[in-house]
Amino acid sequence: MSLNIQQQKLYKTGLVYALVCYCTWGVFPLYWKLLSQIPPQQILAHRIVWSLLFLLIILAIRREKVFIQYLSSPRTLGLLILTAVLIGGNWFTYIYAVNNNHIVDASLGYYINPMVNVLLGVVFLKERLSRIQVIAVSFAFAGVAYLTLHYGKLPLISLFLAFSFGLYGLFRKKANLQSMPGLMVETLLLAPVALWYLWHVEIQGTGAFTHYSGLLDLLLILGGPITAIPLFWFGIAATRIPLSTLGFIQYLSPTIQLLIGIFVFSEPFDTAYLISFGLVWTGLGIYTYSVIRGIKQRHESSMQ
């Protein structure tokens, strides 16, 4: 088999994994809504515990021990403590948003996340924005500002999801870790608090596990695999297709979430939201154009 055919097969495989991954993340609201009668704190605690157990099993089967190196490095462990807090906060906010009828706000957060990543690159990595990137970020800022002025309050759920996930990605990049072993350590760090909380609510008589139905118990347990498996798919996709392609596909997730919020759960999407989203989408379009243009310019330079 020629190298070109091999590359095409890898690309197609990566594309499929990326599509499945982002579509899965997109339909997450449907899953968490099934658990809406359980407090978000308990859902989060179960998600942490069952994710840890699932990841331990997977890594044991694959005989991967790299996470031990992460635990033994003070710098890496320090970064993972920080990313564990960020991803835990992100998970909780997302679950809260879904089960309190803020799916549209959650989708907005993930639409503005690429713009937040650009800003974080400027602040933490001393990256410089091109003129077109400044325009793109300005449109995204205008979208958030319009919604804030119209309703008289910041879209806190959107902003927290965007910044927590952006910071999580930034510090994960600094740590330069494998996805699943890194997540395993993060859940390991969060697990003592999660287990204590589940024990506490059980003692208080407000625990949900084994007190509602077998279906809800199963859904809580499956929160572990559905957290880890899409990340595994993402890891496969990221090694097989260009990051620019992955960047386009990532918009599938908030788009599916937005459609679910509006058409499945009848969340409001009035003129103010339409204008705000329109400004953000315009910014994303400009940003996407800048990325494509940059890739073309680098390709042309390499051919000279």
For residue 3, is pLDDT > 60?
Answer: no
Residue 177 exposure: Cα atoms within 13 Å on the Cβ side? 30
The CA dihedral of 286, 155, 128, 135, to the nearest 10 degrees, is 30
pLDDT bracket for residue 304 (50, 70, 90): low
Nearest residue to 279 via CA among 114, 138, 150: 138
The values of phi and psi at residue 155, to 5°, are: -75, 75
* E runs forming strands in the chain: none
Query: What count of residues does the chain have?
Result: 304
Chain-wide mean pLDDT for the chain? 90
Other beta carbons within 10 angstroms of residue 152's beta carbon come to: 6
Tell me the whole-structure pTM to 2 decimals. Answer: 0.92
At 1 the pLDDT is 47
Other beta carbons within 10 angstroms of residue 300's beta carbon come to: 9
> Which of 1-5, 22-26, 213-217, 271-275 bottoms out in mean pLDDT, i.e. has the lowest?
1-5
167 SS3 class: helix
Whether 146 and 275 have beta carbons less than 8 Å apart is answered as yes
b/e for 175-211, b at 16 or more Cβ within 10 A? bebeebbbbbbbbbbbbeebeebbeebeeeeebbbee
> Which of 84-93, 156-165, 223-232, 292-301 bottoms out in mean pLDDT, i.e. has the lowest?
292-301
The values of phi and psi at residue 91, to 5°, are: -60, -45
Whether 116 and 288 have beta carbons less than 8 Å apart is answered as no
**pLDDT, tens digit (0-9, with 9 covering 90-100), for 58-78:** 999 988 889 899 999 999 999
Nearest residue to 247 via CA among 301, 297, 289: 289
